[in-house]
Amino acid sequence: MAKSLNPIVVEEETIVENKIIVEKEMGYGLKEFLNQFNLFAKEINYTLSGNTINIDSKNSSNANSSITINLLKKTDRTIGSLIIPRLWVQFIFTDYIELEKDHFLKKFDISFQRGGG
């Protein structure tokens, strides 16, 4: 049985003042990512401007909080005849508590999982 490819390749977290910054390298093209994000964010108020997604504070207990998601296409990864798109995704959680950040990312990760077998 073949193993499933996990689209999340690398994850890094940094805390700077009132911001938690999480960076992921994902095996998605930009268009594919945005299509999947629309499914994920059915009940979230957000705006898309270029390669930046802004999510308002209605998704947090803090009225001043926000999430900014920056997207940057990277060079595709080639393994033999297999071509895997790469997208760098940066989440900036401003004035979010750790529990709310973890909850958001868990839902995000589940939504973006790919099956295999």
pLDDT tens digits along 18-33:
999 999 999 999 999 9
- Is 80 exceeded by the pLDDT of residue 2? no
Say which amino acid occupies 75: T
pLDDT confidence band for 104 (50 / 70 / 90): very high
Q: Report the pLDDT averaged over residues 61-72.
A: 89
* pLDDT given for residue 51 in this prediction: 96
What proportions of the chain, in percent to the nearest 5, are helix, strand and coil? Answer: 25, 45, 30
Domain 8-112 falls in which CATH fold? Ribosomal Protein S8; Chain: A, domain 1 (3.30.1370)
DSSP-based three-state secondary structure for 25 = strand
pTM of the predicted model as reported, rounded to 2 decimal places = 0.83
pLDDT confidence band for 10 (50 / 70 / 90): low
Mean pLDDT over the full length of the chain = 86
* pLDDT given for residue 110 in this prediction: 92
Q: Report the pLDDT averaged over residues 43-70.
A: 87
CA 105 to centroid of chain Cα atoms: 8
Cα–Cα dist 55/39, whole Å: 15
List the one residue out of 6, 8, 45 whose CA is nearest residue 24. Answer: 8
